[in-house]
Amino acid sequence: MQHGQSHLVLQRLLARIRDVMAGGGEAEERLNQIVSIIAEDMMSDVCSIYVRRAGDVLELFATRGLSPAAVHSTRLRLGEGLVGEIAAKARPLALTDPRSHPSFVFRRETGEEIYESFMGVPIVSGGRILGVLAVQDTRRRRYTDEEIEALQTVAMVLAELIGHGRLVARDELFATEEIALRPTRMEGIALSVGIGMGVAVVHEPRYTVRKLVAEDTRVEHERLREAVADMHGALDNLLSASDIAVGGEHRDVLETYRLIAEDVGWLRRIGDAINNGLTAEAAVQKVDNDMRARMGQVSDPYLRERVHDLEDLANRLLQHLIGADEPAPETTVKGEVILVARSMGPAQLLDYDRTRLRGVVLEEGSPNAHVAIVARALDIPVIGQAREAVSRMENGDPVIVDADHGQVFVRPGEDVRQAFAESLIARDEQKAVYSALRDLPAVTLDGTHIGVSINAGLLVDLMHLSESGADGVGLYRTEVPFMVRSEFPDVDSQVRLYQRILGYADGKPVIFRTLDVGGDKVLPYWDHAGEENPAMGWRAMRVSLDRPAMLRQQLRALIRASSDRDLKVMFPMIARIDEFEFGRHLLEKEIERESGRGTPPPRSVSVGAMLEVPALVFQLDALLERVDFLSVGTNDLFQFMFASDRASLRVSERYDSISPVVLSVLRTVVNQCDAAGVPLSVCGEMAGRPLDAMALIGIGVRNISMPPSSVGPVKTMIRSLQLASLEKYMETLYDHRRSNLRHKMKSYAQDHGVMI
C-alpha cells in the first residue's frame, strides 16, 4: 500500500473509531465494535485487545477472529508470550512467523495456531502500559512501518477509553498504597545538597485531552504553530527572571532547554502524528507517550534525565493548546513548600514561588538531571530516587528534606524538627570549607599531588570546571548529544560542539571518550534490536568495529576541533588488543586525511583505552606498549568482575568496591602502568566517594575523575591525608579474608583525622 493510500485509510479508520467512542452503550460493547473496524480497515483476519489487570496480568477483553470463548479467560503475565513481551518492553512487535519467536506461547482456547503473521503495539497512557492491541493474519504478511505507525495511533485513541476507568477501575490500573498518617522516613540520593523544611505540594501536571481525532489536519497544524510560538514567548519571560538571568552552569542548562523546545525532530514527530489524523494535543500526547515508554527501558540515568525535559515541554505545549490556566499548586497551602514529584524538567521548577520553595523530592532523578543543576544554582536541596514519594505524601504534609544524608522525613515529630536546626548550622560550615578549597591544589599532607578531574557529558557540565577548581575533564561522554537528536549529527555539527567544549575548558585537558552507544543507549534514528544482556552486547567499540564510518566521522570532527590544541581520545569497552589497534589506526588515517586537506593539526595527540572488561587485565603488558594512557571505568569493570548487574537493586550493592579482590586487581594495574610509564586514571563512581577515593590513592592511583559534585568532598579528604601512613596500612589489607574492608577504612580515617 502506498504512503498516501495508507494515510487515507488511517484517517477513515480513526473517523470510524471516533464515531463509536462518541456513541452510547457500554464500554466493552464499543470495544467489540472497534476490533471489528480495525480488522476490516487493516485487512487483517484478527484484531484483539488485551487490558492490563491488577497483578500485572494481561486479559483478553475483545477480539475479532479469535475464539469468543477466549475473551476474559485468556490471561498472560507481563513478559509472557508475544503480547506479554510487548507490554513488558513497551515496544511494537511485527513478525511473519510468530511461532518461531522465542517468546511465543500457545493458548489452545484462542484458536490462533492457524495464523502466520502477527503485529502488536502497546497501549500507553502517561508512560504506563494499559494493554496491548494486536492484529494477526493467516497469510505470511510483512507489516510495513506505516502499518505499525497506524496501529500505534489507534492504540493512542484506545488508551483514552481504557485509561478513564470505563473498562477497569482506575484504582486497579494505577494502584497506589494507602497513605498512612504516621511519621515516615524515606531514603533517596542527594541531587542537590542541603536541608529544607516545609509542607508538601505534590506536583502532578495532568491535562485531559478530550478530542483525539482531527476533523481538519490543516487547522490542527495551525493550532500547533500558534501554541509553539506562545510557549516560546512564555519560556523567554520565565528565563529572564533576575535570580536566574546571571551567567553560570544553570543558565547554560536553561538555554539548552530553550533549544530543545525548538528541536526540529521533536516537532516533526508531532506534525507527523497530526498528519495521521490526530488533533494537535493528541499528537503531543502520543509523541510524549511513545518517548517515555521507549526510554523507560534505558538504564543509563544520564540519558533518562534528558527525557524529563521533553516531558516538561510536552506538558507546557498541552497547556497552551488546551488553554489550561490553573493556579500554582502551592497557593493551596500556606508557608514554606517542599515540592514532591515523579520527575521534573528545569522550567517546571521555576514555575513555583522560589521565595517559598525549600526543597524537592523526586521519585526519579540523578545528579545530572537538569532540574538538579538549576536547583543547585538556586541553593534548593533535592532528593532523588525516593520510591513511591508521590503516593506516600499528600498536599499539606509537614516534610523535612535532608539531602546531606539522602533522607526525607514525612510528618516528623517535634524532636526531629529540633535536631535539624543543628544540622543546618553544620551544613553552612561545611559549605564554607569547600568554597575555600576551590583554588587550592589537591595535595596530601606529605606533598603528593593528586589529579582531580570531572566527568561530563553536556556543555553545561563544563561550567563545573571553574566552580570546583578541578584540573580538567577526565571523561567526556560524547554519546549524549547523539542521543538527544532526531538524526545523526554531521561532521560540521560535531566540530562546533567539540570546539565549544574545548573553549569552555579554557586550556585544561579534556579526554574525549568515543561513542559508547548500543546496548541500552539506543539512538532514536537506529533500527536497533533489543538484547538479553545489553551491557555485554553490541555496544561501544563493538559498534564502531561494525560501523567504522561513524567512528571516522567523529574522529575527523575531533581532529578539526583540536587544531593547535591538545587532543586526547579514549576508546571504550576494549576487550582485545586488536580492537584498540583498529581505533588508533582509524585516528591516524583521519589525521593523515585532514593534513592532506590543509587542516592545521592538533598540537599533540594522546590515545588511550578504557579498562572495563576484565579480560583486558590479562593483556595489559601488550596493551601498555600501544597506549598513551589508560583509564579504569570501575562501574562496568566491577559489574563484569562480580557478574552483578549494577542496574539491579537486588545485587548492585552486594559486592563492595573496597574489597581485597578489587584492591588487588587495581594494584596490579597500577604497578604495571607505573613500570611501563603509562599514566593511569580512574573515572568510575568509585572515584567520587571520599572513602573509596582514599583507597584508590592508597594503592597508588594518582589521577581520579568524578561527578562535579564530588570534587569538594574528595579534595577535602586529600588535603587531610598523610599518604605514607595510608600506603603502609593498605599493605596489610590485600590478603585480608574479609570480603568488605569498608569498616576498617572508615576506622583508619577516623583515627588519622582524614575528612571523609
- More confident site: 238 or 363: 363
Cell of 297: 527501558
Under 8 Å between Cβ of 80 and 106:
no
Give residue 130's identity as a one-letter amino acid code: L
Same domain flag for 166 and 189: no
Cell of 590: 583521519
628 lies in a domain? no
463 lies in a domain? no
> What pLDDT is attached to residue 371?
78
> What pLDDT is attached to residue 329?
47
38 lies in a domain? yes
Cell of 527: 533500527
pLDDT digit string (tens) for 436-472?
787 899 999 999 999 999 988 767 677 678 777 899 9
> What pLDDT is attached to residue 1?
47
Same domain flag for 148 and 203: no
Q: Which of 122, 147, 172 is the last residue of a domain?
A: 172
Strands, DSSP E only, in 424-558?
451-456, 473-477, 510-513
| Residue 581 Cα to chain centre, angstroms | 31
Under 8 Å between Cβ of 670 and 676:
no
Alpha helices (H) along 678-731: 690-698, 711-719, 723-730
Same domain flag for 168 and 188: no
The helix, strand and coil proportions of the chain, stated in percent and rounded to the nearest 5, come to: 50, 15, 35
625 lies in a domain? no
620 lies in a domain? no
Residues 6+ apart with CB under 8 A from 217: 274, 275, 277
- More confident site: 164 or 31: 31
- SS3 string, 630-661, reads EEECHHHHHHHHCCCCCCCCCCCCCCCCCCHH
Q: Is the pLDDT of residue 123 over 60?
A: yes
Question: Which secondary-structure segment (H or E) carries 268?
Answer: helix 264-275
Neighbours of 329 (CB within 10 A): 17
Question: Residue 497: which of 524, 479, 472 has the closest Cα?
Answer: 479
pLDDT digit string (tens) for 306-315?
566 667 677 7
Distance CA 61, CA 72 (A): 6
428 lies in a domain? no
Q: Is the pLDDT of residue 327 over 50?
A: no
- Could you tell me whether strands 604-611 and 337-341 are parallel, antiparallel, or unpaired per DSSP bridges? unpaired
Q: What is the CATH number of the domain that holds 373?
A: 3.50.30.10
pLDDT above 90 as % of the chain: 35
Distance CA 327, CA 234 (A): 16
**Domain residues for 22?**
3-172
202 lies in a domain? yes
CA angle 559, 561, 562 (to 5 degrees): 65
Mean pLDDT of 671-682: 97
25 lies in a domain? yes
> What pLDDT is attached to residue 18?
82
Under 8 Å between Cβ of 256 and 459:
yes
Under 8 Å between Cβ of 62 and 34:
yes
Mean pLDDT of 413-418: 71
Using the structure block, give the residue that is written with the C-alpha cell 527501558: 297
Q: Which of 119, 150, 172 is the last residue of a domain?
A: 172
pLDDT digit string (tens) for 61-97?
999 999 999 999 999 988 888 998 888 777 889 999 8
Instruction: Give the sign of the dihedral formed by CA 248, CA 253, CA 259, CA 261.
Output: negative
Same domain flag for 503 and 539: yes
Q: Is the pLDDT of residue 242 over 50?
A: no
Question: Residue 39: which of 134, 123, 111 has the closest Cα?
Answer: 134
- Give the range among 22-31, 60-69, 353-362, 509-518 with minimum mean pLDDT: 22-31
Question: Residue 601: which of 571, 569, 550, 556 has the closest Cα?
Answer: 556
Same domain flag for 251 and 318: yes
Specify the number of domains making up the chain: 4
Identify the band that residue 709 occupies on the pLDDT scale cut at 50, 70 and 90: confident
pTM, two decimal places? 0.57
> Phi, psi at residue 276, to the nearest 5°?
-85, 5
> What pLDDT is attached to residue 601?
92
Same domain flag for 199 and 329: yes
Same domain flag for 272 and 308: yes
Active-site residues, by number, are 370, 683
Cell of 272: 507527523
Distance CA 416, CA 507 (A): 48
Same domain flag for 202 and 80: no
Same domain flag for 256 and 147: no
> What pLDDT is attached to residue 507?
92
- Give the range among 98-107, 116-125, 199-208, 492-501 with minimum mean pLDDT: 199-208
Q: Which of 172, 205, 237 is the last residue of a domain?
A: 172
> What pLDDT is attached to residue 177?
38
Same domain flag for 580 and 723: no
Question: Residue 473: which of 505, 506, 515, 521 has the closest Cα?
Answer: 505
> What pLDDT is attached to residue 480?
65
Strands, DSSP E only, in 127-170?
128-137
The CA–CA distances, whole Å, from 290 to 120, 224, 314, 322, 524 equal 14, 19, 12, 20, 11
Same domain flag for 206 and 132: no
Distance CA 749, CA 691 (A): 8
Question: Residue 47: which of 124, 147, 170, 126 has the closest Cα?
Answer: 147
Mean pLDDT of 102-107: 84
Mean pLDDT of 599-616: 95
Under 8 Å between Cβ of 455 and 683:
yes
> Phi, psi at residue 184, to the nearest 5°?
-135, 140
> What pLDDT is attached to residue 2?
47
Q: What is the CATH number of the domain that holds 748?
A: 3.20.20.60
Give residue 85's identity as a one-letter amino acid code: E
> What is the distance in angstroms between the CA of the first residue and the CA of the last residue of the chain?
66
Q: What is the CATH number of the domain that holds 133?
A: 3.30.450.40
Same domain flag for 576 and 675: no
Under 8 Å between Cβ of 160 and 383:
no
Give residue 566's identity as a one-letter amino acid code: D
Question: Residue 364: which of 413, 415, 424, 295 has the closest Cα?
Answer: 295
